[in-house]
Amino acid sequence: MPEDAPDGGRLEALPKSLTDAFPVSLLLVETGDPEEDIKWIERAGPRVMVWSPTRHPMARVQFPATINRGPLRISVDTAGRWPTVANWFRQKLDTLLPQGIASTLEAMVSQGDLKSKLTTPHQRRTFWYGLLDGPLVNRAHQMADDEIHGEIQARIDAAAAGRSEGEVYLVGAGPGDPDLLTVKALRVIAQADVVLYDRLVSKEILARVRADAEMIHVGKQRSNHTVPQDQINQRLVELAKEGRTVVRLKGGDPFIFGRGGEEIESLAEAGLKFQVVPGITAASGCSAYAGIPLTHRDYAQSVRFVTGHLKNNTCDLPWNDFVQSNQTLVFYMGLVGLPVIASELIKHGMPADMPVALVSKGTTPEQTVVTGSLESIAGVVERSEVRAPTLIIVGEVVKLRGKLDWLNR
Ligand SMILES: C[S@@+](CC[C@H](N)C(=O)[O-])C[C@H]1O[C@@H](n2cnc3c(N)ncnc32)[C@H](O)[C@@H]1O
């Protein structure tokens, strides 16, 4: 018999034919009033499964927060308590899963029994770890089925023969704040066998690398390249040929004043696999954390990223192009050359009172910002302790910092 349930819900007595076939039914109880909940829970018979947010020994059914990615199912539950907490963990785990995991595992289902192809547990372990730590899981969702099967087959053959294929990831680590790593960068550095990193990559970011990965510091400091560029390129080739998953971790974005192109050119020439994972460049990170929008409808319709690294103190830069209204200039590596940069801009017609900001160690807890004008900024730097890495922002947009400096509010 139908019975009225609280809050307009209804309890329906199931037809006998159904209860005979499926003798256990499920009761969900959530009236909003724990005492009312308990009354309903206690009316359920011993064969009825009960879920309720109200704790009661008879309410034993739990609904975990779940992630479904093809054949992969992950459930998170907090013993029936705190569904928000379970959901938080589900979201965290979800971001760690590579985008192509479902397609990869679906392709594995149709591979059939792996034991007939890889006969020893060692071969199977090598295969699975190589597959799950390897590049396929990061891009299978963008590949055709036969391509995925081709890569899997190559891995099976390699594991059977005791070989594995390496790959290099050129990864941008962002400007410093570890929370500015991309989800993909985080995933990739957690998979690496070996990481080659620059001086500008913070220790908080290095702490996210897989614990047993080999770490190689390749320096890169102004006039002190601990390992010369051609040796870095060569090392990447050697490591990939050894079949390792290699991460080349660089500050900011690898393709913006990062010589990332040179590093992957050698890999391309050697026919090795590589991927590029972009990062937040210093201009984006520093401007955001300093409250200086690089473009703004009232002040700048374009932005120009410029290297301030002057060769032999000479100024072979197109200064005339830089001196345009409604444009923001961002100089990377410009701290040493700042007096030359400021005087050249004035010489080429930029107003001497054009606002300038220097953002040092941007996005880190040690971030400092000093402001001045083209005319005054070199003196300001002399009087204050501005330390590298420093980014120079020149343009009317710097004025907005007074209003938009959200970090120090
Ligand atoms: C060799 S370039 C590398 C740029 C990097 N690839 C990027 O996209 O940000 C190094 C310069 O970037 C700037 N830079 C990098 N990180 C910075 C930070 N956290 N704060 C301020 N400037 C930074 C400085 O101008 C530094 O001299």
Centroid of ligand 1 to alpha carbon of 63 (angstroms) = 47
pLDDT at 315: 64
Distance from the first to the final alpha carbon of the chain: 63
Kindly report the protein residue whose alpha carbon is nearest to atom 4 of ligand 1: 257
CA–CA distance, 378 with 347 (Å, rounded to integer)? 15
Average pLDDT, the chain: 88
pLDDT tens digits, one per residue of 194-238:
999 998 898 899 998 988 889 999 975 555 557 888 899 999 999
CA–CA distance, 314 with 292 (Å, rounded to integer)? 29
Name the token pair of 131.
């597959």
Contact 286, 360 (CB under 8 A): no
Centroid of ligand 1 to alpha carbon of 274 (angstroms) = 24
- Catalytic residue list contains 198: yes
pLDDT tens digits, one per residue of 275-330:
999 999 999 999 999 999 999 999 999 999 999 987 766 667 899 999 999 999 99
Tell which atom from ligand 1 comes closest to the C-alpha of 254: 6
- Catalytic residue list contains 92: no
Q: Which CATH architecture has domain 283-408?
A: 2-Layer Sandwich (3.30)
Query: Please, which pLDDT band fits residue 49 given cuts at 50, 70 and 90?
Result: confident
Mean pLDDT of the region 2-13: 52
Centroid of ligand 1 to alpha carbon of 348 (angstroms) = 26
Mean pLDDT of the region 344-357: 97
The type of residue at 211 is A
pLDDT tens digits, one per residue of 131-184:
988 889 999 999 999 999 999 999 998 888 876 668 899 999 999 999 999 989
Tell which atom from ligand 1 comes closest to the C-alpha of 364: 19
Ligand 1 pocket: which of 180, 181, 200, 367 to mutate (most atoms within 8 A of CB): 200
pLDDT at 2: 41
More confident residue, 57 or 2: 57
pLDDT at 402: 94
Peptide bond into 389 cis (omega under 30): yes
Contact 274, 168 (CB under 8 A): yes
pLDDT at 22: 63
> What residue ranges line ligand 1, CB within 6 angstroms?
175-176, 200, 250-253, 256-258, 281-282, 286, 332-333, 359-363, 389-391
Q: Which CATH architecture has domain 166-280?
A: 3-Layer(aba) Sandwich (3.40)
More confident residue, 24 or 166: 166
Centroid of ligand 1 to alpha carbon of 332 (angstroms) = 6
Catalytic residue among 184, 220, 250, 361: 220
CA–CA distance, 83 with 89 (Å, rounded to integer)? 10
Ligand 1 pocket: which of 257, 280, 338 to mutate (most atoms within 8 A of CB): 257
Kindly report the protein residue whose alpha carbon is nearest to atom 27 of ligand 1: 333
Show me where the domains of the chain are located: 3-51, 65-96, 98-165, 166-280, 283-408
pLDDT at 312: 67
